[in-house]
Amino acid sequence: MNEHMINLSDEGRKGWLEGQVAIVTGGSGGIGKAIVDRFISEGAKVCIFDLAVSGNGKVRENVLSVRGDVSSYKDNLACVDETVSHFGRLDIFVGNAGIYDGSVTLVDLPEDRMDQAFDEVFSINVKGYLLGAKAALPHLVRSRGSMIFTVSNSGFYTGGGGPIYTASKHAVVGLIRELAFELAPVVRVNGVAPSGTVTNLRGPKAFGQDAAPFFDPGTSWDERITGSKPLAIFPSAVDHTGAYLLLASRENSSTMTGEIIRSDGGLGVRGLNAVSGGTKLSELFDSNAEDG
């Protein structure tokens, strides 16, 4: 069990999501899988909605797997219907499925594949969230539930992707705010904005980026991602799950809607002359402790 997970039987307490039911899109790997595991450890039943799952409709240990395309409204409806049929309700919709654009800049965008790449990225990263929200809404109204969407540091800052990906994540920020307004006071809508993370994130077929993940550890990404953050961390997927758990919990985030938790290692407080100002603190205080 990961150190971030909580063994409910050992702790002798109810989980934050006890008795609740969630759908997590893109839940078969990366951040999505980590969310699924964390939600289950907190007492929830979860449906994984993903093209990558096998055994469609199979239930195991409070997990339902539904194979489908998030960019299809029909598939989203089928997922919601199957989830409610198996578990009896729906409390949380997590729109998480997404693809990257490989940081291909405007200058380097291939003219013959721009349209296809744009449609691929926006169909999954933006339309997929909108369609899932639409399909889940009636049941979330009944349960007074919530929606949570995965954004990115690219929803706020430049240079974390190319123009296609960055635009798609800025669009997700707008979607969260609009839905939070439209659905209040009945359904809460929030987001989590992770930074570059060790996941299986891939890019569009139009760029030939669908075969291998971008953010493997032990590559040049280590230095680029770790060195860009005040907290100097190259996070794993599980490092972000506490933010999703907080937003999913009625008890612990009942006053929050339209909010986006930036789980990005402190990108918003980077300095001009240095990424962070406390790099010598450990050396200073460790030295003082030894001297004492």
In the prediction, which pLDDT does 208 show? 77
Please give the positions annotated as active site.
Answer: 165
Task: Note the pLDDT tens digit of each residue in 7-29.
Answer: 544 556 789 999 999 999 999 99
In the prediction, which pLDDT does 38 show? 97
**166 phi/psi in degrees, rounded to 5:** -60, -40
Q: Which of 56-65, 156-165, 226-235 has the lowest mean pLDDT?
A: 56-65
Q: Which of 88-92, 158-162, 268-272 has the lowest mean pLDDT?
A: 268-272
Average pLDDT for 152-178: 96
The domains of the chain, with CATH numbers, are 8-291 (3.40.50.720)
Task: Note the pLDDT tens digit of each residue in 208-234.
Answer: 776 566 666 666 667 777 888 888 888
One DSSP character per residue, 72-130 reads -HHHHHHHHHHHHHHHS---EEEE------TT--TTT--TTTHHHHHHHHHIIIIIHHH
In the prediction, which pLDDT does 221 show? 65
Q: How far apart are CA 268 and CA 255, in angstroms?
A: 24
pLDDT greater than 50 at residue 64: yes
Beginning with the edge strand found earlier in the chain, give each strand of the sheet holding 260-263 in spatial order: 59-60, 63-67, 45-50, 21-25, 92-95, 146-150, 188-194, 260-263
Average pLDDT for 232-256: 94
Task: Note the pLDDT tens digit of each residue in 127-153.
Answer: 999 999 999 999 999 999 999 999 999
Q: Which of 2-11, 122-131, 250-259 has the lowest mean pLDDT?
A: 2-11
In the prediction, which pLDDT does 70 show? 97
